[in-house]
Structures are given as structure tokens and as C-alpha cells.
Amino acid sequence: MNTIVAPNSRRLGIALWLFLTAAAVFIMILIGAITRLTESGLSMVEWKPLIGAIPPLNHEQWQHVFDLYKKTPEFTQKNFWMELSDFKTIFFWEWLHRFWGRLIGLIYALPLLYFWMRGRIPRGYSLLLLSILFLGALQGALGWYMVKSGLIDIPAVSHYRLAAHLGLALLIFMALIWTGFNLVNTHILSRSNPPLFYHGLGVLLSALITITWGAFTAGLDAGLIYNEFPTMGGQWAPPDLWHLSPEWLNFFENPAGVQFLHRCWAFFFLIMVFGWLGHATVRRGAFPALWALGLMIVIQLGLGIATVIHAVPVGLATLHQAGAVIILFLIVLALFQLQPRR
């Protein structure tokens, strides 16, 4: 029988703070998805980490930021039809995205400073908590580095930088919840099972690969082609799969190849998840987190199919991205429970 020990109240307070920050990061990822799907990410052409939190407050300020946007490739090549009222809509989502990032910084940094000054940081956690703070600052810089790639010649951000930006957000999210679990209690609901734990690491790697190619698909607008399932252009593989040379480049930069690989890996990931669940069942070690993961991967696959069939509507695509984060949460929760006892 597992022993549940009540966590120290100080550790519980820090854990709750980390879970709150993780929830804010989850919301941030959804806002980022909407920003990308509404093509709002290039509307703010300046990076002002401090005063940039204040939006334009009068007509003159709005006209100033609109005039700056008019000089960008996105306006001259795509959105030259826009009036100020149209610009305000896309500006809102990018401003909200950056504002929420600053808010996360405050949610994390101010309590960290408080806990530090009060000497409430548990032994062994100082460097880890500071590292998460550093990753948050790096994420802001990486976000601007991503935006800059779409302000030069081509009105689209680099899909590599987009994937890196999303990947770092997910790394921060996982670090927050793993640390929070540890602070609540390292043995609470423990189901220590090394074989299942190491099996789960493979599932986690597969999930990250699936999400990476999902980001590539989004960055290349690859979801706007071959809006059918299960075939692509009436074939099992898209007819322009080998459009680029060398051939391997098609899976990184050819929209058809990227969407095809994302589809294939999603099904491989489905098999990985149910293989993990089956392994646990055979060992009589299946538990709620794994069953929830099995259910969630089926829902996620359905959301992905619906998203591509309907040509990437904002609502479905945002739910699809939310599903990816929930799946990561369930994997991390399961791995935490299965980790070998120290």
C-alpha cells in the first residue's frame, strides 16, 4: 500500500505557486496559438520589454504603431488592404501574448524573491528555481528572435524558430509541474516501477517529436493543404512529397512532407501510448494517469483530423494545441509516479 505523507506547509505553498505559474504558461501557449492562427504575430515591430506593456492609448499612438507596421513585408505583400481598425484586431492578440508573458514573469519572480528573502526555499531547490527564471527570460528573447525572422523579406516567421519557441515553453511547463510534484511529496501516490518509467521516457520523446512536427506544420501553413483524411491528394502519400532535394529536406521544409510526417508520427505516438498502457496492464501497474493518457490521445487524434479536414479553424486548432499540453502533463505525472525510489 502506498503511504501518503502530508507535505510540509512551506513546501506546499511553494508547490502551489509553481502550479499557478504552470497554469499561466498553459494559458500563454493557447494565446500564442491564437496569435499565430490569426496571423497577428508580426503586428508589433518593436521590442520594448518594459514600456511595451502599455498599449496605444490615443489615436496618435495608434497611428504611430500602424505606420511602423506599414513598413513591414507583411503589410506591403499581404495586408496592404488594412485600415487602422483592421490593424487593431491583430495588434490586440500580439500585445496580449507579450503582456501575458510579462505577467508570468511577475507571477514567478516576485514570489521567488519573497520566498528567498524569507529563507523558505527548501535545500537543493535554489539553483533549479533560478534556472526556471532564466529559461523564462530566455523565452522572451527567443520570442523576439522568432518575430524578427518575419520582419525582413518574407512575411512569415521561421518555422524552426517557432518550434524552438514552443518547445522552450513546454520545457518550462514541464519543469514547473515536475518541481511542484516533488515539493508536494516525493512519495505521494508513488508507483515506483523502473521498467515502466524508462518505457515512459520513450513515450515522452515520441510526444516531443510529434509536437515539433506539429509546430513545423503550423509554421509552414502546411495544414492548409491536403484537407482530407486519410489520403493526401487521393493517395496515401502526397504526390509532391519528394519536391525538394536532397530528399530528407522534404520532411523539414516541404509543407506536404511536413504534414505527412506529422500525420504518420501521430499514429506512431498513438501506438507508443497504448503500448505503454498495455505494458502497465500486463505488469498490473496501470493507474489513472495512464488511462487518462490513453483517452486523451484518442481525443487529440480526433482533434487533429478535424483540424486538417476543416482547413485549420482557430477554435479547433487551439484545442488541438491545448490537447498536446494536456498530454505532456499526463506523461509527466505518470513518469513522476513511476520514477525509481531514491
- Mean pLDDT by runs of 10 across the 342 residues of the chain is 51 93 97 94 84 84 92 91 93 94 95 92 92 95 90 89 96 96 74 91 97 96 94 94 94 96 96 96 88 97 96 96 97 93 71
Both 33 and 146 in a single domain?
A: yes
pLDDT for residue 99: 94
pLDDT for residue 186: 57
Both 115 and 219 in a single domain?
A: no
**What φ, ψ does residue 43 adopt, rounded to 5°?**
-80, -25
Both 168 and 35 in a single domain?
A: yes
Both 89 and 199 in a single domain?
A: no
Task: Transcribe 110-173 into DSSP letters.
Answer: HHHHHHHHTT-SPTT-HHHHHHHHHHHHHHHHHHHHHHHTTSSSSSS--HHHHHHHHHHHHHHH
The total number of structural domains that make up the chain: 2
- 328 part of a folded domain: yes
pLDDT for residue 3: 37
Of the residues 188, 210, 241, the one at which a domain ends: 188
Of the residues 134, 164, 188, the one at which a domain ends: 188
pLDDT for residue 188: 60
Spatial separation of the C-alpha atoms in residues 251 and 241, rounded to whole Å: 8
pLDDT for residue 304: 96
Q: Which domain holds residue 264?
A: 191-342
**What φ, ψ does residue 104 adopt, rounded to 5°?**
-60, -40
- 1 part of a folded domain: no
What are 232's strand-pairing partners? 235
pLDDT for residue 279: 95
The C-alpha cell at 135 is: 529559461
- At 225, is the secondary structure helix, strand, or coil? coil
- 2 part of a folded domain: no
pLDDT for residue 30: 97
Of the residues 188, 222, 242, the one at which a domain ends: 188
Both 196 and 323 in a single domain?
A: yes
